[in-house]
Amino acid sequence: MNSVDIEAIARFRRGVDPQVFVNEMVAEGFDRAASEAAIAKVRQRVTRDDRSRGLLVLGVGLLLLAVGVGLTVWTYLGGGGSYVLVWGPVVFGLIAVVRGIGQIADAGQFNHGRLL
């Protein structure tokens, strides 16, 4: 990564408008074409990273849900007239699933240019 890419990532994460970024970089002495290429590359990289992070959070949430429901069913089927409702992993799993889906959706909006 070169200095333009590093600066593009920093400004992109701060929410700087891409056109403003390009104009600022040109004013600071960077080449316009390199600045435009850098913002396109950063947009793609950030989208990929955000989507990967969202998929990870979604996967952890689904795993927690499966563990919570599985343990609850296992104790229920074990007989004995009582069972343990394992609600902690279910609640945190649901939260993680919603967050993961949100992160994936946000990454898709970046990818299709709706937020930029």
Read off the pLDDT of residues 39-62 as tens digits, 9 standing for 90 and up: 788 888 878 888 999 999 999 999
Q: pLDDT tens-digit profile of 61-88?
A: 999 999 999 999 999 998 778 889 999 9
Q: Is 57 helix (H, G, I), strand (E, B) or coil?
A: helix
Instruction: Quickly state the pLDDT bin for 25 (edges 50, 70, 90).
Output: confident
Q: Give me the pLDDT at residue 109, please.
A: 64
**In the predicted model, what is the mean pLDDT of the chain?**
84
Q: Quote the pTM value.
A: 0.70
79 versus 116: the higher-pLDDT residue is 79
Q: Give me the pLDDT at residue 116, please.
A: 37
State the amino acid at position 56 in one-letter form: L
Burial call 72-87: b when 16+ CB within 10 Å, e when fewer:
beeeeeeeeeeeeebe
Q: Give me the pLDDT at residue 112, please.
A: 47
